[in-house]
Amino acid sequence: MTTETTSTTSTTTGIALTDVAAAKVAALLAQEGRDDLNLRVAVQPGGCSGLRYQLYFDDRNMDGDVIREFGAVKVITDKMSDPYLSGATIDFVDTIEKQGFTIDNPNAQGSCACGDSFN
């Protein structure tokens, strides 16, 4: 079950992390040897389509952050990025053609060929 918490509410909507992606994040965190890190997902200006995704490990909690738990993995989005990511699904693919995290975002009206930016 997925849970989301803000300073005053708890709900089950927003960004989703597949089981495969959650397992990969947990494995990467285990490699780091730190239990104080969370996966932060943000939307920043830039890229060839106007906005780009950022995924990184972070030990900070900022005012207005939205925290969602997927098993032992916590995913944090800032209050400005969260509306852009509502309904998005993060997955991890490992094929001969591609390896890495992917984001399927129903809010994106268009994206660049590399898939790293959207509008």
pTM for the whole structure: 0.76
Q: Which residues does 21 contact at the CB level (< 8 Å), separation at least 6?
A: 90, 91, 92, 101
pLDDT of residue 106: 85
Which CATH number among 3.90.228.20, 2.40.50.660, 3.40.50.150, 2.60.300.12 corresponds to the domain 35-102?
A: 2.60.300.12
Q: What is the pLDDT of residues 45-98, one digit of tens each?
A: 876 657 888 999 999 999 999 999 999 899 999 999 999 899 999 999 999 988
DSSP state at residue 19: H
Is the torsion defined by CA of 41, 23, 72, 2 positive or negative?
positive
Identify the H or E element spanning 52.
Answer: strand 51-58
What does the domain layout of the chain look like in residue ranges?
35-102
